[in-house]
Amino acid sequence: MKSNCCFIWICLALVTIPFYVYRAQTYIFHGKFSGSLDNCSSVFDKVHILIEQDLNDTERFLRTPQYYEQISNGCEKVLTCVKASTNLTDNLELDITSLCQFYLYYHNVFSKCAKKLMRRVGQNISCIDTIFNKSFEDKKSMCEGWDSAQDCLIKKISATCKLNSRVPMRHFSSLKEAMCTEIEEVQWLEGLTDF
């Protein structure tokens, strides 16, 4: 009698456990989680396009904080998605998370300082004009302009905004890296052909 009872319990377990495992997998991959990953994917795509457009624009290195509002709002969603799933950024060409941190920082935390610095455009401060007002011919001249303005900009951020300039410059360097890495790689490759 006891063996029949054990046999019945084992049979029930063999039937019910796979059923619940199947239901859990269905819920995870086709239920609530799937919808949120699809949403994250579309958010990544939209933000990726906006950032690509900004990085390919050589009109200005930096614009007003309000200009980046749409990117910043999208980046908040992106970073929320990244917290939920780290494998979503694997297929992107850009390091979207560090760029999003720049756009969020610039649009929010650095906004007041950026506005103060932009009010100084046209006051014969070359680095301010270079970063906030100069129109560049191409990416190469834009990146060279950033490199030549960096030391001056560090001093102007400290003096104008009473900030430790290391934090903003760390964020700016992620933007500069995204803008200029491709150009530096091309220059490096051109240097190899000189032999």
pLDDT attached to residue 160: 94
Residue 86's pLDDT band (cuts 50, 70, 90): low
> Taking 50 as the threshold, does the pLDDT of residue 151 lie above it?
yes
pLDDT attached to residue 135: 83
Q: What is the pTM of this model?
A: 0.69
Across the range 114-125, mean pLDDT stands at 94
| Per-residue pLDDT tens over the stretch 23-57 | 444 333 333 334 455 677 888 889 989 998 988 88
Region of poorest pLDDT, from 76-90, 99-113, 123-137: 76-90
The H or E element spanning position 141 is helix 139-161
Task: Write down the mean pLDDT value for the chain.
Answer: 77
Nearest to 182 by CA among 55, 12, 19: 55
% pLDDT > 70, the chain: 67
Hey, what long-range contacts does 152-160 have (CB within 8 A, 24 or more apart)? 152/125, 152/126, 152/127, 153/127, 153/128, 156/117, 156/120, 156/125, 156/127, 156/128, 157/113, 157/117, 160/113, 160/116, 160/117, 160/120
CA distance 141 to 1: 88
Domain spans of the chain, in order of start: 1-30, 39-186
